[in-house]
């Protein structure tokens, strides 16, 4: 009969662990098995318990056979390592739980020392070791002695018992409450340390309360002993205690506290003592449940039978390292152990040699290949390491640690697709192994494979619902797909779970800002910066949110401060330029954009912002602007693809597929000008495709979706994916509605996904892009004789190039304000970037020419006191009394914004960038607009509107005429009143609001372009 040797520490003091070893040996012997205790030293024995079993020692040098079984408590790791080369079956019995005991490396395993299986009392710890070391495990029921641990009501005293050997928490609570006096003086505290078994059991039978010793305990047999004695257990459940300690409900058997939370332990103990003093009977159910829990562990036969079954069946349990007595195998094991020690000592090359020798002797040990692979990885020999891991997997395909490390190795070698396969293998084998989810998620995020990230993170969060990395990765992936609501939910949950996570706060704040909710975004971004002030991305988002709220001075000051500390922050330079445009400091802004681009030439945002900002410049001639525009356009990076062939049928008469590309298909001026076109498109002529790159949806979006033949939500798509979609849709004419404005997709246009590309509505100027064939315009905004200013061909439409659609809830025009004010009020509600030096000078001359008149300006930036002072100072420098210039902050509610037109008599157009939407809105509200026209598209928009409206005299060619017409109108209040009453009806009857005409003319223009270009491009 094989012998079963239980190795036991030479520890003289009373210990539940050593008693358990003796008890299990006694149980095995009672089942007819030849079990022994093995101490280190001869003659060592324990006297504090009465369990008598045969004892031997290592000094006695017992004769061990391959069929014998060596049982090591997990605390005896050195002995386990020492005996690794012995040819015998080996088992670990886990008596306790503390990380200090499991001091193997993360990639190491008990299997390296020949351990064949592990024996536990707690399912939680058993499952952990099974996951951690890939070992077979078994759970044996706990046994407590019914002769020692039982409930005796008459013996109970106001006594609080606790352990102190492994944690001092209970002792601290003891000292604090004892000093309080009062009712706490009625209790006696007893620290259970170094007591004999009889003394220990007697104390528990007398105690009313028991405090478990440590948050790191395993099953904590002392809790079961206390429960069997009818103690009210107050404290941590430890690790294994979670198997049987119930904190609430009808089966509550203890008062649980969050593991390791000492303050909560103290407060809970104090409350429990107060409650018990007031009403002991209120704890009767907990005591009865506790006794029942303890009594379940008093079945001697159940434990004995489980132990005997485990050891009798041990030969059939698959071993991570097959046990045999072959001397070559033992030699290999000896070399593997030597290699492990050398590696631990930092002698990596010597360890490598040992592993090679061991594997030369026996190459069938998967853990040896695995550990060899780990060593090679540490030596940065990635190719060799990958081969070692693969050999381990050939021997044991479900070796998930080998799959994981192989995946990491392949990832680091840029063999990404193969790495992904092995990460997925880990998840298939160990669905709860979160490290694999994290590594796979990171790889997929780096590849921008958001669909797969969503799949993996959703599975990960089903296991670990509060994981921040998973929540943030999932949110970013939803966001990249334009699914903003689920993204918002992820970030909100992440911030709820970890209020001080700088990344989560930044993600939430940034998305809220993108969703046009800057007021909500600001506190999250501010807090993120407090936690991580060096994150310039968060700083950029914060500056952007400030500007969205009109807090221009704060944004400029903060950008300047950041750049003073580090001048090389490309994102902050970009935001500095953006902020400066709000104060119409355009040359300074473009200089900031230039520095931003120099710091990060791969980014297109500085280029787009510089190109758009040029439209505000009044210090360059139109031809100089063309040259400057060309310089910036040439900085654009190479597009990801360049199409030279398309799927379009060149038939000149068939219906055309028209694609509209925009990020502003929501409540936005672009959408208002596009809507009448979509409504009135002739289905026999046009099939409309709308590519929504913005993803923010509202009531306007819903209407546009209903009018469009096909709607593609492509928010978050990269340039290549979007270009491929447009090309695969076989779009005939792609109409870009953004140009170089915010959220543009310039690089998609440069891919040329459609045979004909045009620019329309959203950008009032030439794009400068060779890939755009046409700019849509009327004869007034872009006369044929100015075609040298455009890289595109001008595609003229009859009537107005834009079709205005006002919201249906806007107020009616009211009486001319000058009639009640007694003075004339000029005004402009254009954005502040348009208030150029020329504009300031021109408006100042108008104010001088019309005595006692006022100028009302309304813009987002005028929310900011510093910006108001800046602009008012420029008027004062022109000799204007500052009180005559009224600067109003924005009105958030659109109805109230339009009511502000009731305050002005005449609208003054800025120069060189005229009003577009603003001009139409002023005219709709009965306010005439005086405009100075130039040569650029953006300098002639009001000229087009006014001419189409039948008021060409309000669009003038010189500054002198601008002033003269302003004076003439200001002196004729009767005429102004008539215009105020009639302008709305004039608008309705004009081409500006004739949707049928606009769509018809646009379709004719599309057809001309198709017939002119398609044959050349599609037929060569």
- Supply 464's token pair: 């670990």
Same domain, 239 and 278: yes
Q: What is the pLDDT of residues 242-273, one digit of tens each?
A: 778 898 889 999 999 988 888 999 999 999 99
Same domain, 784 and 821: no
Residue 96's pLDDT is 62
Mean pLDDT of 403-414: 95
Give residue 311's Cα distance to chain centre: 50
List residues bridging with 71 in a β-sheet: 6, 91
Residue 409's pLDDT is 95
Whether 954 and 1010 have beta carbons less than 8 Å apart is answered as: no
Q: How far is CA 290 from CA 163, 225, 295, 326, in A?
A: 19, 10, 9, 52
Residue 168's pLDDT is 83
Mean pLDDT of 225-245: 86
Where in the sequence is the domain holding 613, given as residue range(s)? Answer: 550-635
Q: How far is CA 373 from CA 64, 286, 381, in A?
A: 33, 53, 9
Whether 279 and 261 have beta carbons less than 8 Å apart is answered as: no
Q: Please indicate, yes or no, if residue 650 is contained in any of the structural domains.
A: no
Backbone angles phi, psi at 162, to 5 degrees: -155, 160
Q: Please indicate, yes or no, if residue 100 is contained in any of the structural domains.
A: yes
Locate the DSSP E strands across 663-813: 686-692, 710-713, 733-736, 756-759, 774-777, 793-796
Cα–Cα distance, 620 to 563 (Å, whole number): 29
Which distant-in-sequence residues (6+ apart) come within 8 Å of 705 by Cβ?
690, 711
The region of weakest confidence among 5-19, 259-273, 346-360, 469-483 is 5-19
DSSP class per residue in 85-119: TSSSEEEEE-----TTT--S-TT--GGGGTEEEEE
Residue 195's pLDDT is 72
Angle formed at CA 31 by CA 29 and CA 37, multiple of 5 degrees: 20
Residue 317 has pLDDT above 50, yes or no: no
Cα–Cα distance, 77 to 622 (Å, whole number): 83
Q: How confident is the model at residue 104 (pLDDT cuts 50, 70, 90)?
A: low
Q: How confident is the model at residue 460 (pLDDT cuts 50, 70, 90)?
A: very high
- Helices marked H in 192-317: 197-206, 221-228, 262-278, 284-295, 300-312
Q: How confident is the model at residue 318 (pLDDT cuts 50, 70, 90)?
A: very low
- Supply 974's token pair: 């009767």
DSSP letter at 729 equals T
Same domain, 157 and 83: no
Cα–Cα distance, 815 to 817 (Å, whole number): 6
User: Which helix H or strand E contains 190, and what residues bound it?
Assistant: strand 188-192
Q: Residue 691 belongs to a domain with what CATH number?
A: 3.40.50.11380
Q: Please indicate, yes or no, if residue 890 is contained in any of the structural domains.
A: yes
Residue 894 has pLDDT above 90, yes or no: no
Cα–Cα distance, 696 to 716 (Å, whole number): 11
Residue 322's pLDDT is 39
Same domain, 881 and 831: yes
Q: How far is CA 346 from CA 119, 170, 252, 379, 946, in A?
A: 33, 41, 52, 11, 83
Q: Residue 40 belongs to a domain with what CATH number?
A: 3.40.50
Residue 102 has pLDDT above 80, yes or no: no
Mean pLDDT in the chain? 91
Q: Please indicate, yes or no, if residue 970 is contained in any of the structural domains.
A: yes
Angle formed at CA 765 by CA 761 and CA 767, multiple of 5 degrees: 95
Q: What is the pLDDT of residues 921-968, one digit of tens each?
A: 999 999 999 999 999 999 999 999 999 999 999 999 999 999 999 999
Q: What is the pLDDT of residues 34-88, one digit of tens each?
A: 999 999 888 787 776 778 889 999 888 888 887 889 999 888 888 888 887 787 8
Q: Is 676 helix (H, G, I), strand (E, B) or coil?
A: helix
Q: What is the pLDDT of residues 685-703, one digit of tens each?
A: 999 999 999 988 889 999 9
Provide the percentage of residues in the chain whose pLDDT is more than 70: 95
Q: Residue 587 belongs to a domain with what CATH number?
A: 1.25.40.10
- Supply 910's token pair: 């800025």
Provide the percentage of residues in the chain whose pLDDT is more than 90: 69
Same domain, 566 and 660: no
Residue 564's pLDDT is 95
Same domain, 100 and 190: no
Same domain, 744 and 826: no
Same domain, 754 and 667: yes
Cα–Cα distance, 81 to 114 (Å, whole number): 9
Q: Please indicate, yes or no, if residue 137 is contained in any of the structural domains.
A: yes
Backbone angles phi, psi at 857, to 5 degrees: -115, 140
Same domain, 878 and 924: yes
DSSP class per residue in 550-604: T-HHHHHHHHHHHHHH-TT-HHHHHHHHHHHHHTT-HHHHHHHHHHHHHH-TT-S
Q: Please indicate, yes or no, if residue 676 is contained in any of the structural domains.
A: yes
Buried b / exposed e along 49-74 (16+ C-beta atoms within 10 A): eebebebebbeeeeebeeebbbbbbb
Which distant-in-sequence residues (6+ apart) come within 8 Å of 794 by Cβ?
774, 775, 777, 782, 784, 787
Which distant-in-sequence residues (6+ apart) come within 8 Å of 288 by Cβ?
none
Instruction: Report the residue count for the chain.
Output: 1020
Same domain, 727 and 782: yes
Same domain, 277 and 374: no
Q: How confident is the model at residue 1012 (pLDDT cuts 50, 70, 90)?
A: confident
CA dihedral 440, 445, 451, 457 (to 10 degrees): 50
Q: Which residue has the higher pLDDT, 133 or 794?
A: 794
- Supply 639's token pair: 């597009």
Same domain, 9 and 126: yes
The region of weakest confidence among 643-652, 768-777, 795-804 is 643-652
- Do strands 885-888 and 854-858 pair parallel, antiparallel, or not at all (unpaired)? parallel
Q: How confident is the model at residue 143 (pLDDT cuts 50, 70, 90)?
A: confident
Q: Please indicate, yes or no, if residue 694 is contained in any of the structural domains.
A: yes
Counted domains in the chain? 6
Residue 324 has pLDDT above 70, yes or no: no
Q: How confident is the model at residue 620 (pLDDT cuts 50, 70, 90)?
A: very high
The region of weakest confidence among 531-540, 643-652, 890-899 is 890-899
Q: Please indicate, yes or no, if residue 357 is contained in any of the structural domains.
A: no
Residue 541 has pLDDT above 70, yes or no: yes
Residue 692's pLDDT is 96
Q: Residue 971 belongs to a domain with what CATH number?
A: 3.40.50.2000
Which distant-in-sequence residues (6+ apart) come within 8 Å of 54 by Cβ?
36, 37
Q: What is the C-alpha end-to-end distance of the chain, expressed in Å?
A: 93
Cα–Cα distance, 576 to 556 (Å, whole number): 6
Residue whose pair of structure tokens reads 């505290």 in the numeric block: 189
The region of weakest confidence among 202-211, 337-346, 499-508, 844-853 is 337-346
Q: Which residue has the higher pLDDT, 716 or 416?
A: 416
Quickly count helices (H) and strands (E) in the chain: 41, 25
Residue 101 has pLDDT above 50, yes or no: no
Mean pLDDT of 378-394: 94
DSSP letter at 638 equals P
């Amino acid at each position: 009969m094989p012998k079963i040797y239980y190795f036991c520490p030479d520890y003289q003091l009373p210990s539940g662990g050593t008693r358990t070893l003796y008890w299990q040996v006694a149980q095995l012997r009672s089942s007819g098995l030849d079990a022994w205790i093995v101490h280190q030293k001869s003659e060592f024995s324990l006297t504090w318990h009465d369990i008598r079993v045969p004892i031997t020692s290592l000094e006695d040098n017992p004769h061990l056979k391959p069929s014998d079984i060596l049982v090591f408590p997990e605390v005896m790791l050195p002995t386990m390592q020492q005996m690794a080369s012995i040819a015998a079956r080996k088992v670990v019995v886990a008596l306790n739980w503390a990380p200090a005991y499991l001091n193997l490396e993360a990639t190491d395993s008990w299997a390296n020392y020949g351990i064949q299986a592990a024996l536990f009392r707690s399912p939680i710890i058993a499952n952990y070791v099974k996951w951690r070391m890939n070992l077979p495990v078994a759970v044996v029921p706990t046994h407590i002695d019914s002769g020692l641990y039982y409930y005796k009501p008459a013996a109970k005293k106001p006594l609080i018992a606790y352990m102190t050997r492994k944690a001092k928490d209970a002792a601290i609570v003891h000292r604090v409450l004892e000093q309080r006096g009062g009712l706490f003086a009625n209790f006696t505290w007893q620290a259970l340390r170094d007591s004999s078994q009889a003394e220990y059991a007697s104390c528990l039978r007398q105690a009313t309360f028991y405090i478990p010793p440590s948050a790191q305990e395993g099953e904590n047999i002392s809790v079961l002993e206390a429960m069997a004695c009818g103690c009210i257990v107050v404290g941590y459940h430890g690790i294994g205690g979670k198997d049987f300690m119930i904190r609430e409900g009808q089966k509550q058997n203890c008062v649980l506290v969050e593991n390791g939370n000492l303050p909560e332990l103290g407060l809970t103990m104090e409350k429990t003592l107060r409650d018990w003093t007031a009403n002991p009977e209120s704890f009767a159910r907990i005591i009865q449940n506790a006794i029942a829990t303890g009594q379940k562990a008093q079945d001697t036969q159940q434990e004995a039978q489980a132990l005997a079954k485990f050891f009798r069946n041990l030969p059939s349990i698959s071993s991570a390292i097959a046990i045999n007595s072959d001397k070559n195998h033992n030699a290999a094991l000896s070399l593997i152990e030597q290699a492990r020690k050398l590696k631990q000592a930092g002698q990596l090359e010597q360890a490598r040699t040992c592993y090679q020798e061991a594997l030369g002797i026996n190459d069938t040990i998967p853990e040896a290949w695995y550990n060899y692979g780990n060593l090679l990885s540490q030596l940065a020999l990635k190719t060799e390491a990958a081969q070692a891991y693969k050999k381990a997997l050939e021997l044991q395909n479900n070796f998930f640690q080998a799959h994981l490390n192989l995946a990491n190795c392949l990832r680091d070698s840029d063999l990404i697709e193969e790495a992904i396969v092995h990460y997925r293998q880990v998840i298939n084998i160990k669905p709860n192994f979160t490290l694999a989810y994290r590594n796979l998620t990171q790889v997929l995020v780096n590849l921008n494979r958001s669909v797969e990230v969503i799949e993996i993170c959703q599975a990960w969060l089903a296991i670990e619902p509060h994981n921040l990395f998973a929540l943030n990765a999932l949110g970013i992936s939803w966001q990249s797909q334009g699914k903003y609501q689920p993204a918002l939910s992820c970030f909100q949950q992440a911030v709820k779970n970890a209020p001080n996570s700088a990344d989560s706060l930044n993600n939430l704040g940034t998305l809220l800002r993108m969703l046009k909710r800057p007021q909500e975004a600001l506190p999250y971004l501010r807090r993120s910066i407090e936690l991580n002030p060096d994150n310039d991305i968060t700083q950029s988002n914060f500056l952007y949110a400030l500007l969205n709220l009109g807090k221009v001075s704060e944004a400029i000051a903060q950008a300047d401060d950041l750049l003073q500390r580090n001048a090389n922050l490309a994102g902050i330079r970009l935001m500095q330029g953006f902020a400066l445009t709000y104060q119409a400091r355009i040359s300074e802004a473009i200089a900031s954009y230039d520095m931003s681009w120099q710091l990060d030439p791969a980014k297109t945002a500085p280029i787009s912002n510089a190109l758009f900002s040029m439209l505000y410049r009044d210090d360059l001639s139109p031809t100089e602007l063309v040259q400057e525009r060309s310089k910036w356009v040439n900085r654009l990076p190479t597009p990801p693809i360049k199409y030279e062939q398309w799927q379009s049928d060149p038939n000149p008469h068939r219906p055309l597929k028209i694609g509209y590309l925009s990020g502003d298909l929501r409540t936005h001026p672009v959408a208002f000008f596009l809507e009448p076109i979509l409504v009135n498109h002739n289905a026999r002529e046009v099939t409309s495709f709308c590519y929504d790159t913005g993803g923010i949806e509202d009531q306007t979006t819903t209407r546009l979706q209903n009018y469009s033949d096909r709607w593609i939500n492509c928010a978050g798509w990269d340039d290549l994916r979007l270009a491929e979609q447009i090309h695969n849709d076989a779009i005939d004419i792609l109409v870009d509605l953004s140009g170089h404005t915010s959220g543009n997709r310039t690089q998609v246009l440069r891919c040329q996904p459609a045979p004909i590309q045009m620019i329309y509505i959203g950008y009032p100027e030439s794009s400068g892009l060779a890939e755009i064939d046409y700019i849509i315009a009327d004869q007034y905004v872009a006369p044929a004789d100015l075609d040298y200013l455009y890289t595109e061909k001008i595609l003229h439409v009859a009537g107005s190039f834009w079709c205005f659609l006002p919201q249906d809830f806007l107020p009616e025009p009211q009486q001319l304000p000058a009639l009640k004010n007694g003075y004339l009020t000029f005004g402009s509600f254009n954005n502040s970037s348009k208030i150029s030096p020329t504009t300031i000078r021109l408006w100042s001359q108008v104010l001088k020419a019309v005595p006692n008149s006022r100028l009302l300006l309304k813009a987002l930036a005028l929310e900011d006191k510093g910006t108001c002072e800046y602009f008012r100072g420029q008027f004062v420098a022109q000799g204007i009394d500052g009180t005559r210039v009224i600067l109003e902050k924005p009105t958030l509610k659109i109805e109230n914004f339009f009511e502000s037109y009731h305050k002005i008599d005449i609208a003054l157009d800025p120069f060189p960038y005229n009003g577009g939407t603003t001009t139409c809105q002023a005219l709709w509200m009965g306010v005439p607009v005086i405009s100075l026209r130039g040569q650029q598209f953006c300098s002639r928009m009001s000229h087009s509107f006014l001419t189409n409206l039948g008021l060409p005299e309000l669009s003038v060619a010189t500054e002198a005429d601008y002033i003269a017409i302003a004076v003439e109108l200001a002196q004729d209040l009767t005429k102004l009143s008539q215009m105020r009453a009639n302008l709305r009806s004039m608008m309705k009857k004009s081409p500006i609001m004739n949707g049928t005409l606009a769509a018809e003319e646009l379709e004719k223009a599309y057809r001309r372009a198709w017939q002119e270009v398609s044959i050349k491009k599609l037929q060569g």
